[in-house]
Amino acid sequence: MGTGLELEAVKKDGTKFPVEISLSPLQTEKGMLVSASIRDITDRKKAEVALIKLYTELEQKVKVRTEELVKSEKQFKALVENNDAIITMMDENQHLIYRSHSAEKITGYTLEERNQKTRIEDVHPDDIEKLKKCLEELRSNPEIVQHLTYRLKHKQGNYIWLESTYKNLTKDPNVGAIVVNMRDITQRKKAEDKLIFSELRYRRLFETAKDGILILDTDTGIIEDVNPFLIDLLGYSHKEFLGKHLWEIGLFRDIIANMESFLKLQQKGYVRYENLPLKTKYGHSISVEFVSNTYAVNGKNVIQCNIRDITKRKEEEEVRLRLSYIIEATSDFVGIVDMDQHAVFLNKAGRELTGYGESEDLSSKLLSDFIPEWAFKIVAEKGIPTAMQTGKWSGEVSLLSKTGTEIPVSSVTIIHKTPDGRPQYISTIARDITERKKAEADLISMEKKILEQKIQEQKNIARVIIKAEEKERNRMGQELHDNVNQILAGTKLYLGMTGDDEKMKELIKYPMELIDSAIQEIRLLSRKNVTPLKNINLIDLLQLLVDDLEKNTSLKMVLKFDLGEQVKNDDLILNVYRIIQEQVNNILKHADAKTVSISVQTIDNRIQIITTDDGKGFNLNKIRNGIGISN
């Protein structure tokens, strides 16, 4: 058996090259020999070197690739474990093989806790059937990727929304499982719900708004939507609005006349017109306010036009304007304060009356700055409370000018309330009554003078009458005393001369008594009728009357006398005396009284006479006019 040796041989030119020498024993006739076979192995050696190099490179590449695969696997694992999505793998029987760590963060359950539950456990009842259907489709049609959105109960009890993708890779030898990718979309669903709610709310606002609303395409100016209020306001149908340019609708031509005007509207982004006249489909004229705004919706600009019917507001403004003209033109004071009594408004006449200039700021002034203290008390305690209850209060007070002068006025105070009944403002309308007050004072003064003149005339007449009566009384008294009494005395004398005849004396006894009584009565009448002496004291005269009445009548008299200083006017004393004398005579004749009280006193520089009795009285309705001093 030969043995191969690899040696390096040298050529004739000195070049070295590898050879393989094989030595084999050879039996010859000469004995045992060694046979040597030499083969040039240069090409083989080159091939071996190349192969070793290839193996080395391949080994290095395998090592690098292995390291890359390990790194990639680690990266993939890190990506899976740290991803917000849940990655799960199930076998053909849907038993869990693998679940990423993010599942615990999203659902709250650990892997062990989740394995204790069935696949559909904790799924929202409304989503169970569609999950079952998805899994069944996955089994029967493994080539189809299944997508499902459903709700799963979190460990804390609330439901979360999961967006899932199911792919059946059980036949793939590299996977051999059903791969499920699930993402928590709870926040997105809430945002979508909010968006849907917002859209519904916007639509509701759009549909129920009390302004007319048009939605236009920003690029073309074509009407895309119109709300019911504008349809009802103008009488055109929904169809008649949609698809048309704004300027194609006749009633809007004054606002947007053409495309050029629309381009200006695009550039401005906001346009507002007021008091524009519009005609409805039925020919009715209305005033509107037109407001246009541009804003973005889902990345696209739209133009919203709001059309508000301001016909009523315009009419109210015209009424307010006319009222303002009237208030400024009136000569009466018109002022308004708020419920804290701060000045809000004062018209031209009010400023002129109180001395404030047109440009003078009155916002710091209070109601009390325009009214004297005594008048403010009336307004605050009576005027405003009454106006709060009934709506207004009227009365005569005074205003206070800037210089402090009081100005008498006839005023009306009105409480203005909000629609819900809350007091908002207090207005006062006042008319200067200075001239009227002066005229009233002059009239009162004149009437007083006339009254005084009449009283003086009455006094003069009464004085003349009393003098005439007193003169007549004196004459009658003297006549009775000097003539009638003398006749009666003579008669009594002659009767006394009838002699000593007892029978005759008896016959004339009663006539003699009657004559004595008549003489006494005449003397009493003469005394009453005769005018008292001059410079007599009134109290003495009245006391004499009272004493005489108590002596000669059954009356009980009570006299109360308090005139302060002594009355020295004889005519006045006589008048007082005669009045009381007349009253007492009337009581004697008609009252059937037992007690009479007489009070004479001074009140406000006047003599007051009060006579009372306990008699039967008389009917006031039957009083007849007489010719006494009072008349």
- Render 275-306 in DSSP notation, one character per residue: EEEEE-TTS-EEEEEEEEEEEEETTEEEEEEE
Q: In what order do the strands lie in the sheet with 223-226?
A: 223-226, 212-217, 300-309, 285-297, 270-279
- For residue 165, what are the β-bridge partners? 147, 181
Q: Is residue 546 part of a domain?
A: yes
Q: Is residue 423 part of a domain?
A: yes
Measured over the CA atoms of residue 238, residue 244, residue 246 and residue 251, the dihedral's sign is negative
240 with 280, same domain: the answer is: yes
Q: Is residue 224 part of a domain?
A: yes
Q: Is residue 187 part of a domain?
A: yes
Could you give the CA distance from residue 205 to residue 196 in angstroms, rounded to a whole number? 14
335 with 320, same domain: the answer is: yes
- For residue 327, what are the β-bridge partners? none
Number of domains forming the structure of the chain: 5
Q: Is residue 394 part of a domain?
A: yes
Nearest residue to 242 via CA among 262, 216, 260: 216
pLDDT attached to residue 259: 52
Q: Is residue 450 part of a domain?
A: no
The domain boundary, picked from 437, 459, 492, lies at 437
CA distances from 527 to 230, 476, 481, 489, 531 (A): 110, 11, 9, 18, 8
- Helix, strand or coil, per DSSP, at residue 567: coil
Main-chain phi, psi angles of 590, to 5 degrees: -120, -25
334 with 429, same domain: the answer is: yes
pLDDT attached to residue 395: 93
CA distances from 25 to 5, 6, 38, 490, 537 (A): 15, 18, 15, 239, 207
The parent domain of residue 593 ranges over 531-630
Could you give the CA distance from residue 50 to residue 296 in angstroms, rounded to a whole number? 71
Residue 259 has which token pair? 């495309």
Written as one letter, the residue type at 173 is P
- Helix, strand or coil, per DSSP, at residue 366: strand
Quickly count: other Cβ atoms within 10 Å of residue 109's Cβ: 19
Burial class (CB in 10 A: 0-12, 13-18, 19+), 369: middle
Written as one letter, the residue type at 479 is E
Residue 598 has which token pair? 């007489």
The domain boundary, picked from 139, 167, 192, lies at 192
325 with 257, same domain: the answer is: no
Residue written as token pair 């709870």: 186
With beta carbons less than 8 A apart as the criterion, state whether 415 and 388 touch: yes
CATH code where residue 98 lies: 3.30.450.20
319 with 428, same domain: the answer is: yes
For the chain, report the end-to-end CA distance as a whole number of angstroms.
193
With beta carbons less than 8 A apart as the criterion, state whether 185 and 192 touch: no
Q: Is residue 58 part of a domain?
A: no
214 with 129, same domain: the answer is: no
Question: What value, to the nearest 5°, has the Cα angle with vertex 442 and ends 437 and 444?
Answer: 90
**Angle of helix 538-552 relative to helix 570-586, nearest 10 degrees?**
20
Residue 483 has which token pair? 């003539």
Could you give the CA distance from residue 609 to residue 600 in angstroms, rounded to a whole number? 5
398 with 352, same domain: the answer is: yes
Q: Is residue 494 part of a domain?
A: no
With beta carbons less than 8 A apart as the criterion, state whether 180 and 166 touch: yes
Residue 369 has which token pair? 């700055």
Could you give the CA distance from residue 482 to residue 69 in angstroms, rounded to a whole number? 174
pLDDT attached to residue 409: 93
320 with 418, same domain: the answer is: yes
285 with 323, same domain: the answer is: no
Residue 453 has which token pair? 């003149």
Could you give the CA distance from residue 225 to residue 202 in angstroms, rounded to a whole number? 13
Q: Which residues of the chain have pLDDT under 50?
A: 1, 258, 627-631
Main-chain phi, psi angles of 486, to 5 degrees: -65, -40
Own/partner pairs, 478-484, CB within 8 angstroms, 24+ separation:
478/526, 480/522, 480/525, 480/526, 481/522, 481/523, 481/526, 484/522
pLDDT attached to residue 161: 92
H or E element that contains 98: strand 96-99
CA distances from 598 to 320, 486, 544, 546, 565 (A): 70, 37, 13, 9, 19
Number of C-alpha atoms within 13 angstroms, CB side, residue 99?
A: 18
- Helix, strand or coil, per DSSP, at residue 473: helix
348 with 389, same domain: the answer is: yes
290 with 327, same domain: the answer is: no
428 Cβ contact list (under 8 Å, min separation 6)? 333, 334, 335, 336, 337, 411, 412, 413, 414
The domain boundary, picked from 383, 416, 437, lies at 437
CATH code where residue 625 lies: 3.30.565.10
412 with 335, same domain: the answer is: yes
